[in-house]
Amino acid sequence: MRPHCALILRDAAKAPLLRMRRTFGLADSMTLTTPTIAPKARIDWTKPVLWLFAAFMIVLIVLPLSWLVVYAFTDKARHPTLQNFVTLFTNPDFLDPLLTTAIIATTSAVICCIVAAPIGWLVSRTDMPGRQTSARW
């Protein structure tokens, strides 16, 4: 039996007894108790799922980055070297794409900061419409 059902039954059983006590002038300190069945313990899966998801995300991040580091500091024969970086900064074929990449990364970071800073201030300091929707992100 569910606990709230036991409470309803207990209250329903009390009503005739209360009328009887009032009729016969009995003391009002009588208490009725009924045993309730404890609910089954449920397993909380939130923490194991969270840890599994975190481990999965770490693997997805660490594997490509480690692969990148290994290949950046080794040559084709798998010997440790810094020659790849010397080639990157001295070879004219790599300088133009390197400069383009740096410009795109810097520009996008500046634009994100210019857009995000006012929105963050608006959400935290004002009572703008849609504030609760944007605060959930």
> What are the pLDDT digits (tens) for 13-28?
666 666 666 666 655 5
In terms of domains, do 35 and 47 share one? no
Instruction: With cut-offs at 50, 70 and 90, classify the pLDDT of residue 7.
Output: very low
In terms of domains, do 48 and 86 share one? yes
Average pLDDT, the chain: 82
Q: Under a CB-based contact definition with an 8 Å cutoff, are residues 17 and 30 in contact?
A: yes
In terms of domains, do 113 and 126 share one? yes
Helix axes 92-125, 83-90, angle to 10 degrees: 90
Tokens 């995300």, residue located: 57
Total number of domains constituting the chain:
3
pLDDT tens-digit map of 88-113: 999 999 999 999 999 999 999 999 99
Which domain, by its residues, includes 55? Answer: 43-90
Q: Say what the pLDDT of residue 43 is.
A: 85
In terms of domains, do 86 and 47 share one? yes
pTM above 0.75, yes or no: no
In terms of domains, do 73 and 106 share one? no
Q: Say what the pLDDT of residue 27 is.
A: 55
In terms of domains, do 101 and 122 share one? yes
In terms of domains, do 18 and 57 share one? no
